[in-house]
Homo-oligomer: A and B are copies of this chain.
């Protein structure tokens, strides 16, 4: 390349949602390729509330690949990042922008370095599948910059090599990760079961639970489970396959009753195999148990599931209500038991705050005046401080390009993250 060409910076920005599994992924049959022991199914959350935004910049002036996560530079040397970069580079295509004087031939991509800046619009530490949104966004945005022509299914298979559940964040709505059979993992990818408009009255409330315990990472946790739990293989080979079929039916028919029962049962079974691991893994704590108990008693009192719950590798509860009316009732019950520690109701429920109005909760006084849920017998104890905050969300769409250059995370002149 000529010296005059060295100054250009080519950029793309993408935004990818996070997802919550309703049939859980736990256990790999291949650690390096991240191939799971069973299919899993997830719902994609609204990226307005929970998503990663990533800008990828390419320039002949960059001497090496670099990445910044939430403003802090992190190492790209890990195998997972390297897999994603390698697989996308392999599929990179010729690109030309005559106006900017950019012309990149297919073989040039091998020698062009990237700067990546990524940002989550929710706390990384909250244990809300930030790596799923992050790797999906990385692969999606790398693909845009490098003019990759492959479909989302193939991209999902690449994102999978960054973080298993990331493959499910390549689509909106309801997504299935097919475990695949091939040794090379090429058939282990995500497919969309239905988009977010298919069942758009579902409301999702997440209770971010305070935890003092250091949690077992899901990577080492699932490795321990595969190696030591006598129950995992039975779950993966016998229980999950029939649950996946039933869950697909439930989603197709918008059958909330069946959807809720399967979701709760599979969350509990995932935590059961964690407990069957040596040493045992505890992700749920007493607060998680209390939220389950609240939902189970409510569901039992009504004779039919009002709300589904599911817990990932942490104590946070993800609660799914069939509509806003039920979600508002759920919020009343949750806030009765878990009132905010300070007087600020507005920062205690983030995301779609309008649900507070539906629940008639306009001030902290309204929370204090909530009656005890009648289905809960004694003790009517409250647990102030046990939930950090709530997020109200809904189903959302898959990854999107952010066209507005003002929202890019990298300065197109310096090629470095903005504000760093």
Is there an interface contact between B268 and A212, defined as CB atoms closer than 8 Å?
no
Does residue A276 face the partner (Cβ distance < 8 Å to B)? yes
Interface residues of A in 197-245 (CB under 8 A from B): 212-213, 230-231, 234-235, 238-239
A270→B231 CA distance, assembly (Å): 11
A residues engaging B (CB < 8 A)? 212-213, 230-231, 234-235, 238-239, 261, 264-265, 268-269, 271-273, 275-280, 282, 285-286, 289, 292, 296, 300, 379, 381
Is there an interface contact between A379 and B212, defined as CB atoms closer than 8 Å?
yes
Shortest C-beta distance, A199 to chain B (Å), equals 23
Q: How many copies of this kind of chain does the complex include?
A: 2
Q: When the two chains form the complex, which single residue of B235, B261, B289 contacts A231, counting CB atoms closer than 8 Å?
A: B235
Is there an interface contact between B268 and A276, defined as CB atoms closer than 8 Å?
yes
Please give, as numbers and ranges, the residues of chain B lying within 8 Å of A273 by CB-CB distance. 272
Shortest C-beta distance, A275 to chain B (Å), equals 4
Please give, as numbers and ranges, the residues of chain B lying within 8 Å of A261 by CB-CB distance. 278
Please give, as numbers and ranges, the residues of chain B lying within 8 Å of A292 by CB-CB distance. 279-280, 282
Smallest CB-CB separation from A285: which chain B residue? B286
Is there an interface contact between B279 and A300, defined as CB atoms closer than 8 Å?
yes
Please give, as numbers and ranges, the residues of chain B lying within 8 Å of A282 by CB-CB distance. 289, 292
Please give, as numbers and ranges, the residues of chain B lying within 8 Å of A276 by CB-CB distance. 268-269, 272
Please give, as numbers and ranges, the residues of chain B lying within 8 Å of A381 by CB-CB distance. 212
Q: When the two chains form the complex, which single residue of B212, B239, B264, B280 contacts A278, counting CB atoms closer than 8 Å?
A: B264
* The 7 residue pairs across chains A and B that have the minimum distance between CB atoms: A279-B296, A272-B272, A272-B276, A272-B275, A234-B234, A268-B280, A230-B239
13 example contacts (A-B, Cβ-Cβ < 8 A) are as follows A230-B239, A231-B231, A264-B278, A265-B278, A268-B278, A269-B276, A272-B275, A272-B276, A275-B275, A279-B292, A279-B296, A282-B292, A285-B289
